[in-house]
Structure 1
Amino acid sequence: MAGLRDGELEKAIGREVRAFRRQLDATVAELARQAGLSAGMLSKIENGMTSPSLATLRALSKALNVPVTAFFRRFEEEHDATFVKAGQGLTIERRGTRAGHQYQLLGHSVRARVMVEPYLITLTERSDVFPVFQHSGVEFLYMLQGEVGYRHGNKTYVMRPGDSLFFDAAVPHGPEELRKLPIRFLSVISYPRDEG
């Protein structure tokens, strides 16, 4: 399986088998006997040192009185997590880049049905106003530095550090007044994957 670390699945299965055995207050030897396995084989399975066959998993599931799928319940092939060190976000070109807006992508989800794109946006003296962004989904802004008049539809919100704005991104929006530079804010855009 692509992206699967060596032994990860075996260890996950082993943890579950051991947990179910302990819930029954059974010894390794007792469970091995009930499942028709050697104690050594069961020990290897519980320690994630071997990959049990489907027949072996079926025998264990019968002995433990659980479905075979119970051995996989806490296992996930991949986990979505993105860690970005300060100042090391991926610089992205977006429509506002031409107006001097700097975008640093701070993470994204690769498998979720909903796309989430967190950005750190910086506006400096070289930036222009650009109040005409419009896209599907919703957006959340959180001000970190400076002061901006941020337009959403027909209303402009004066945003200072600590202020936030959550809105329907299908409505025209964007920084309309660059009041105190530099301006830095987090922008988190979310939309259904099929619309991306």
Structure 2
Amino acid sequence: MKANKDQDPHSTSGAKENQLEVAIGRQVREYRVKLGMTVADLARQAGLSAGMLSKVENGGASPSLATLQAMSRALNVPVTAFFRKFEEQRDATFVQAGQGLAIERRGTRAGHQYHLLGHSIGKSMVVEPYLVTLTETADVFPIFQHAGQEFIYIVEGEVTYRHGDKLYHMRAGDSLFFDADAPHGPEELTKLPIRLLSVIVYSRAGDN
């Protein structure tokens, strides 16, 4: 069978069409397994055929309201429980190489380039991953101090990094995880250019 030349091989339209059915099926299976029931057990108690139930659990069939009600009674859960996974927001941010959002932060004027690679939405905890680039035009600058925790990973170059009263000489492959409310930041730019991944995590109620 020849593929349709006009069809995008990476298209997800087909997968999107049955996302609800897949979410319902996963929930049905999850509740059934928790109760230690087999497909045949649930099918019998819900008054369904085992084949039909298997299709529902695999996302291959769109159950009617009557079917949902029958399964909810058999599993002793409300009908709305089958829709919870579908209604929960699942965010994903894809950033192609070199396409991160340029951000103005302290140190930008000193030649430090910040590219935001993603941002959590509607969560109590905020996660901000940055790719930081320091080139020949970069200079050291006053240290940072903010709420939350931070993780840095050196991708390229060498830097002496301060955290509190301690100094860490970091090379490519080195990492540092620390409480960000202590003074921290590059103390000496040893080998340029420097590229490091910085991931900042803090409570949305706190100040960054």
User: Which of 63, 66, 71 is the equivalent residue of 1:60?
Assistant: 71
Name the CA shift for 1:31/1:95 in 2 (closer, same or farther; >3 Å): same
Q: Is the 8 A contact 2:39 2:54 kept in 1?
A: no
Contact 1:13–1:48 (8 Å) recurs in 2 = no
Query: 5+ residue gaps in structure 1?
Result: 36-40
Structure 1 pair 58/125, CA: closer, same or farther in 2 (3 Å)? same
2:20 is aligned with what amino acid? L
1:23 to 32, 38, 42: 38
Change (3 A) 1:65 1:164: closer
User: Structure 1 residue 79 and structure 2 residue 90: aligned?
Assistant: yes
SS at match of 1:75: helix
Count of aligned pairs: 186
Residue by residue, what CA displacement relative to the aligned partner does 1:38-85 show, whole Å, maximum 9, x if unpaired? xxx9899775765744x76333311x2331255235435321222222
Q: Which residue of 2 aligns with 1:93?
A: 104
| Equivalent position amino acid for 2:137 in 1 | R
Q: Does 1:151 align with 2:166?
A: no
SS in 2 for 1:87: coil
Q: CA offset at residue 111 of structure 1?
A: 2.6
Instruction: Give the superposition deviation at 1:130.
Output: 1.5
CA offset at residue 100 of structure 1?
0.9
Q: Which amino acid aligns with 2:202?
A: Y
* Alignment-mate amino acid for residue 187 of structure 1: S
Please report the RMSD computed on the Cα atoms of aligned residues, expressed in angstroms.
3.3
Q: Displaced runs of 4+ in structure 1, greater than 4 A?
A: 14-20, 41-53
Q: In 2 relative to 1, CA 131–51 (structure 1 residues): closer, same or farther, beyond 3 Å?
A: farther
Letter in 1 for 2:89: E
Question: C-alpha separation between the residues in 1 aligned to 2:152 and 2:42?
Answer: 56
| SS of alignment partner, residue 107 of structure 2 | helix
Q: CA deviation at 1:123?
A: 0.4
Q: Secondary structure at the match of 2:205?
A: helix
Over the matched positions of the two proteins, sequence identity in percent amounts to: 62
Which stretch shows the higher mean deviation, 178-187 or 126-135?
126-135
Structure-to-structure mapping, 1:10-49, within 5 angstroms: 10-14=21-25, 16-17=27-28, 20=32, 23-25=38-40, 34=47
Q: Distance in 1 between matches of 2:141 and 2:186?
A: 6
TM-score under structure 2 normalisation? 0.72
Quickly say closer, same or farther: Cα 1:162–1:45, change in 2 above 3 A. closer
